Amino acid sequence: MNFTQDFQKLLLKKPRYNVKQVQAENSEFADTAIKSKNCYYSFCVFYCEDVYYGRYSRKCTNCSGITFCTECQWCIESTDCINGYMLSYCHHCSNCSECSYCADCFGCTNCFGCIGLHQKQYYLFNEKLSKEEYERKISELDLSNPAVMNMVAQKLQEVQSTTVNLGIHQTMTENCIGNNLSEAKNCYQCYDAFNLEDCLYNIECNGNKDCCDMTVCFEAENCYSCVQAPINYNCNFLMHTDQCSDSELCAYSKNLKNCFGCVYLENKEYHILNQPYPEDQYHAKVAEIKKELQSNGLYNMMIYFISDYEMQRYMHEEDHAIQPLLPTLN
């Protein structure tokens, strides 16, 4: 058995699917929609409902044009906002409602064009107004007029130039190093992630625990080096594989248990390279394959790199030491 060649042949055997969904409903034009409903043209949305043009957001409802938002309602064109209500064009705002063109604000209500405010209400470009004056001035802003929008952009630049801008954005975190984190504990070098605990190097993840080197993964536990692999337990080197346990180097599969090097499989147990093995032989064979892969430097995600683009990219990397490790498919 030449595991590397056989595994790569399995990867090339079928076309890769273009949309991944797990327990999603009425979201045909959403990719990596997990436990979501009625989402359109959205990517990596978790527990979302009625979200349009969203990206990497969690527990949001009735929103459009949001990115990295958590538990937001009726928000549009906002980024990295948490627990927001009726926000528009806001960035890095938490627990705010009915705000527009705000950034780095916390617990604010009825604010427009504000930066770095905490627990404020009826502020326009960081200036305190009465309720009546605020409502009057907001009603006079014709945001469909390009001249008004240019004025708004200029005022925002003036406010930003006189306000301290946060370099790190974390909300409800403990003992964490990273940026754009919320509800996280004991995490190191994690970014754009929600609800993590005891994780290292997680990017664009949600609900992971005891995981390392994860990208676009959701509710994974005790996993290492996986890509777009939600709801897995004790797995390594998965790609587009979900709801699996005790499996490694599997791709485009789901509901696997004790599988190694399997591609395009569902609801299987004790399989190697898509072939069934007796339970008493499976673990010995996997140990043998892993030893060979480790000796060749291929017990990692590099074994997936089989396209011409991937080959050319790595052939021209500055670190030419990796070239002998690249697998070749005959």
Q: Is residue 117 part of a domain?
A: yes
Residue 288: the pLDDT is 94
pLDDT of residue 327: 41
Answer yes or no: is 145 within a domain.
yes
32 domain-assigned? yes
Indicate whether 311 belongs to any domain: no
What pLDDT is stored for residue 325 in this prediction?
41
Give the pLDDT confidence of 130-155 residue by residue, as tens digits.
999 999 999 999 988 999 999 999 99
Residue 129 lies in a domain: yes
Domain that includes residue 122, residue range: 18-161
C-alpha–C-alpha distance, residues 225 and 215, integer Å? 8
Residue 9 lies in a domain: no
Q: How many residues does the chain have?
A: 330
Q: Residue with structure tokens 């673990």?
A: 283
Residue-wise burial string across 258-268, b where 16 or more C-beta atoms lie within 10 A, e elsewhere: bbbbbbbbeeb
Residues 231-278: tens digit of each pLDDT: 999 999 999 999 999 999 999 999 999 999 999 999 999 999 999 999
pLDDT value, residue 322? 43
Within-domain flag for 144: yes
Q: What is the pLDDT of residue 318?
A: 52
74: tokens are 């009726």
Total tally of structural domains belonging to the chain: 1
Q: What is the pTM of this model?
A: 0.83
Q: Answer whether residue 252 is part of any domain.
A: no
* List of the chain residues with pLDDT < 70: 1, 307, 309-330
Task: Describe the chain by its helix, strand, coil percentages, rounded to 5.
Answer: 20, 35, 40
The pLDDT value given to residue 303: 85
